[in-house]
Amino acid sequence: MQSEFEFIKRIRDQATKRRATADTKEDLVFGVGDDAAILREREGRETLLTVDMLVEEIDFKIEYAPPRLLGHKALAVSLSDIAAMGGAPAFSLLTLGVPKRFQISNPESQIFFEEFFAGYFALAEKHSVTLIGGDVSSTPDRLAIDSIVIGHCLTGQAVRRGGAKAGDAIYLTGAVGASAAGLKLLLDGARLNENEDSPAQSALRAHLKPEPPVAFGRRIAERGLAHSMIDVSDGLAQDLLRICEESGTAAIIDFDSVPLAPQVNEVGLISKELEAAFEFAVQGGEDFELLLTAGGSDEVELLEIAADFGVRLARIGQIIPVDQIKSRIMLSRGGQVKPLSIHGFDHFQI
């Protein structure tokens, strides 16, 4: 247990060292090192809380995930949730279940966790996020990471999933499919090479080091432009379905308008047809892009904000009343409209 305490102490020292530089320090009363962290509350503001668990062999494999990128991704997945609410991330907590093979006294383990926290803290610093607590436990076999992020927004500004209205246009940041392509390549044996610049390497990076468009999401919420928003973590099809279910609506997406990541071409789909790439991209998970709906008259401002933040934004379809059609999500192509089946996204089973 002493080694666990020492480990926590080292993380605490790192978190404390970084504390002074955070934009959010006025709200931090006390972080790592007591029974609970203490945060100041402010009138007119809301707290946003999200948690995501990543488990070795389920959400990642040690053999392909460099520890620095694993630390990055552990934080990124939760930042993405705050982005999807239109919030500003501020604080984080991190729980690690550390397998016995990662004994802290082992120099290789030390390097692993130094790299892990280097990646975690680099992304935290980029988004002015301060680590304020967590827990460390042993696990019998597998590394388990539970990532908690706390964000803020002004009262009433959070963008929910359930606000989509019939007639809304549907927008997507970035493109879909690169992360799923990267995962497939990793499972087929490809490995990241920082010095190589190729479509395959770019797919690996999309999977291993996602960069959610946090500042864009926040601005959209501040401007009150999105009626509903979600991050694309379980696949565009699945996550659009969630918006529709929560909003009591349906949606039509336009085959030709959905931006497919060019990296999808790297995965050697059995059929080279565009349909196969589309299917792969809209069912694949972990894009960590934002999917939002907005009134058509706001499109100019949306596109301006996207341009300001260097974010690609595509209109990919429309929200429609639920009683018009049999399936919640319809796909329109060449004048034909048919239901889009939704598989959801299961790691290692794509």
**Residues in 217-236 that interact with a second copy by CB under 8 A:** 229-231, 234
Q: Shortest approach of a second copy to residue 176 CB, angstroms?
A: 17
Candidate ranges 159-167, 219-227, 253-261, 308-316; the one touching a second copy (CB under 8 A): 159-167
Q: Which 125-154 residues touch a second copy, going by CB under 8 A?
A: 132-142, 144, 146, 148, 150-152
The answer to whether residue 155 forms part of the interface with a second copy (CB under 8 A) is yes
In Å, what is the CA distance from 283 to each residue of 176, 180, 199, 234, 277? 9, 9, 20, 8, 10
- Binding-site size for a second copy (CB under 8 A) equals 72
- The residue range among 252-260, 292-300, 312-320, 338-346 that interacts with a second copy, by the rule CB under 8 A, is 338-346
Residue 204's alpha-carbon distances to 24, 57, 199, in angstroms, are 33, 17, 9
Least separation, in Å, of the C-beta of 275 and a second copy? Answer: 23
Confirm if 261 and 206 have CB atoms less than 8 A apart. Answer: yes
Dist. CA 40–CA 29, nearest whole Å? 6
Q: Which one of the spans 11-19, 174-182, 263-271, 341-349 is the region binding a second copy (CB under 8 A)?
A: 341-349
* Identity of the residue, 224 or 296, whose beta carbon is nearer to a second copy in the bound complex: 224
Q: How far is the CB of 177 from a second copy (least distance, A)?
A: 18
For a second copy, the binding residues in 47-76 under the rule CB under 8 A are 47-59
Is 67 or 97 the residue whose CB approaches a second copy more closely? 97
In whole angstroms, the minimum distance from the beta carbon of 150 to a second copy comes to: 7
Closest approach of a second copy to the CB of residue 198, in Å? 31
The CB-of-100 to a second copy minimum distance in angstroms stands at 9
For residue 141, what are its two tokens?
């076999």
Kindly write down the DSSP assignment for every residue of 165-215, as one continuous string.
Answer: -TT-EEEEES-BSHHHHHHHHHHTT----TT--SHHHHHHHHHHS----HH
Closer by beta carbon to a second copy, 217 or else 317: 217
Place of tokens 């892009």: 289
Q: Please identify which residue in 2, 195, 271, 297 interacts with a second copy, judged by CB under 8 A.
A: 2
Interacting positions 84-113 with a second copy (CB under 8 A): 84-85, 87, 93, 95-97
* C-alpha closest to that of 240 among 345, 323, 168, 329: 329
- Of 46 and 211, CB closest to a second copy: 46
Nearer of residues 266 and 287 to a second copy, judged by Cβ: 287
Q: What is the DSSP string of 202-271?
A: HHHHHHHS----HHHHHHHHHTT--SEEEE-SS-HHHHHHHHHHHHTEEEEEEGGGS-B-GGGGGG--SS
CB < 8 Å & 24+ apart, contacts of 326-331: 327/250, 328/241, 328/244, 328/245, 328/250, 328/251, 329/237, 329/240, 329/241, 329/244, 329/250, 329/251, 329/252, 329/253, 330/250, 330/251, 330/252, 330/253, 331/252, 331/253, 331/255
CB of 93 to a second copy, least distance (A): 5
State yes or no: residue 33 binds a second copy (CB under 8 A): yes
303 lies in the site for a second copy, by CB under 8 A = no
* Cβ nearer to a second copy, comparing 21 with 30: 30
Residues 240-279 that bind a second copy (CB under 8 A): 246
- Interacting residue with a second copy among 11, 22, 32, 37 (CB under 8 A): 37
